[in-house]
A and B are shown apart, each in its own frame.
Chain A
Amino acid sequence: MSRAKSAVGFWGWSWCLLLLTLTSPWPAPARAEALAADLTSHLIAITTGFTGTSVVLFGAIDGPGDVAVVVRGPDREMTVRRKSKVTGIWMNSEEITFANVPSFYFVAASRPLEEIISPGATTLYHLGVASLEMKAESGAPPELVESFATALIAAQQRAKLFPNVEGKVHFIGERLFRTTIEFPSNVPTGTYLVAVFLVRDKDVVSGQTTPLVVSKVGIDADVFGFAVRQPGLYGIIAVLTAVVAGWLASLPFRSA
């Protein structure tokens, strides 16, 4: 189990945070001072022994209310294909490409979402898998979009990248809260956004966005970077390494 480490200084993150708050996809909160939250770590370092990790989000609110948390990985474009039987053979017959599919998604709340927040706000703040706005490509047959989107969500859930159930935000007393975010070993790399919302009277009254970076470090990052920057040389080295490994492996045969 590898521990996530914070490698970037406080001031660096503050700037990031400010920028992200300004350009955040969520509407600007009404009163930012009503809520304060942070993560135990802002960097998930993927090393050779990485088997997934967890990050704790903790914070405080200024009075009674509920807290909802959303974690969203970088958006991807995903293509869903469906097989059907054509002349006795199963083949891919229909496909729909969805834009804005989060590569990772997590949601948690102090009480079940439908009890604490109005459906309008749920949609606005993308709270819950059902309120993700995954845009199907134009020209996709409307009668197919829903079943294809359901299949996409199910696939992400199987990969543990989407939650099967809402997570739980725990209150310690009336003001302090915490929740644990689990990241599987296949967690996509990139900059994640962690949004925390203070909910009162079925609406979001305050919010805060914090970045979280998922990145390869050490030898894995080096191998990956080399493969991307010098693909030709990487290929040649990969082949030569295999040749040398094969030759070394055959050496004991001589004595046999």
Chain B
Amino acid sequence: MDIYLPIAEVSVDVFVLLGLGGVVGFLSGVFGVGGGFLLTPLLIFIGVPPTVAVASSANQLVGASVSGVLAQWRRGNVDFKMGYVLLVGGLAGSFLGVWIFTLLKQLGQIELTISLSYVLLLGTLGALMMVESIRTQLRLHRPGAARRKLHQHNWMHGLPLKARFRRSKLYISALLPIGLGFVIGVFSAILGIGGGFILVPAMIYMLGMPTAVVPGTSLLQIIFVAANVTLLQAYTNRTVDAVLALVLLAGGVIGARIGSQFGTRLRGDQLRLLLALMVLAVAAKLAFDLTVRPPDLYSIASEKE
């Protein structure tokens, strides 16, 4: 059954959209990542114009994150204080990000910059997470091994403005989440994603947050980032297809329910290993696309006269 999308100006099979939404919702339920990194390229693949794909993904992300946060909140898995502190940094960072984006656009090659940043960022993150997960797995299979320390003390713990984050069982400087939020804000604006992909590993490894509260808290931040992107895109580019977003959302909430139930059955270290594998797979795919001769060397962009 086909449905005509008024802003994208194409007809697509409604079940394909529901399926796409479902897969992305599943990922967000399990890991607390928005899934924009996966959704946007898939939408482009089924014929939605890239600008509409980016903007409408952000719109559906708002709804998916709201539903995810509410579900996690009922289990007590959202650290609101941490979320707000991250957001302060995030909003400041997105201003710098938008400025950098404009600058890169003027220099040309914005797409290349985006792909290269993804490869570097995801490649590094994925590799680090992979090494850590494998070590944890090995340790688990060695009985009698020394119990790991909760977290290492280093220069980060000497910073001022210490605050207590009760849900996360942390007593750290507020500058850390603000700084992290800032970096995420910059990347979100440049890469057009919610930032969950960078945020989730950083919360686990940099801040040392317990894995259980990470998805909910990450999604809380994504709501606001995605809402901001949707508003900006609707206002400046008129590329938000609300019909597309709602259909994706319908599939997404079903996926997210299954995903979050699946996620609670997994151990934290298994969750991290799966996430590491996924991050590495995306990085590898992007690196492959950059270095292998594309099937079609030409690309077409249309402007209304």
Contacts and interface: CB of A to CB of B under 8 A. Distances in A.
B257 A253 contact: yes
Interface string A223-256: 1100110011011111101110111011011100
Residue from B3, B63, B256 whose CB has the most chain A CB atoms within 10 Å: B63
A: contact size bracket: 35 or more
A249 B301 contact: no
B157 to A, nearest CB: 36
B243 interface: yes
Contact of A186 (B6, B47, B245): B47
Given A82-B297, A234-B240, A216 B257 contact: no
Interface of B: 2-4, 6-7, 9-11, 47, 59-60, 62-68, 70-71, 74, 109, 111-112, 116, 223, 227, 230-236, 238, 240, 242-243, 245-246, 249-250, 253, 256-257, 289-294, 297-305
Residue from B65, B74, B111, B300 whose CB has the most chain A CB atoms within 10 Å: B300
B3 A189 contact: no
B238 A228 contact: yes
19 contacts: A50-B11, A79-B301, A80-B300, A81-B301, A82-B298, A83-B299, A185-B2, A186-B11, A189-B9, A221-B6, A223-B243, A238-B242, A238-B245, A242-B60, A242-B66, A242-B246, A246-B63, A246-B253, A247-B66
A156 to B, nearest CB: 8
Given A90-B290, A152-B298, A246-B65, 8 more contacts: A51-B2, A185-B2, A224-B6, A227-B234, A231-B236, A235-B231, A235-B232, A250-B66
Contact of A83 (B4, B9, B66, B297): B297
A77 B305 CA distance: 6
Contacts of A52: 11
A192 interface: no
Contacts of B227: 239, 243
Contacts of B297: 82-84, 151
5 nearest A-B residue pairs (beta carbon): A235-B234, A246-B66, A249-B253, A242-B63, A185-B11
B235 A92 contact: no
Given A49-B4, A227-B238, A188 B233 contact: no
A253 B246 CA distance: 20
A38 B3 CA distance: 30
A179 interface: no
A216 B301 CA distance: 22
Given A92-B109, A241-B242, A49 B3 contact: yes
Contacts of B304: 74, 76-77
B231 A185 contact: no
A74 B155 CA distance: 63
Interface string A67-88: 0000000111111111111001
Contacts of A74: 304-305
A80 to B, nearest CB: 6
Contacts of A188: 9
A78 B303 contact: yes
A182 to B, nearest CB: 14
A106 interface: no
Contacts of A44: none
Nearest to B300: A155
A243 B62 contact: yes
Given A238-B59, A241-B242, A90 B291 contact: yes
A89 B3 contact: no
Contacts of A107: none
A249 B63 contact: yes
A185 B4 contact: yes
A250 B67 contact: yes
A148 B298 contact: yes
Contact of B62 (A76, A101, A185, A239): A239
A47 B4 contact: yes
Contacts of B223: 243
Residue from A47, A99, A223, A237 whose CB has the most chain B CB atoms within 10 Å: A223
Given A76-B304, A189-B9, A151 B298 contact: yes
A247 B70 contact: yes
A74 B236 CA distance: 24
Given A79-B303, A246-B63, A246-B67, A89 B246 contact: no
B26 to A, nearest CB: 14
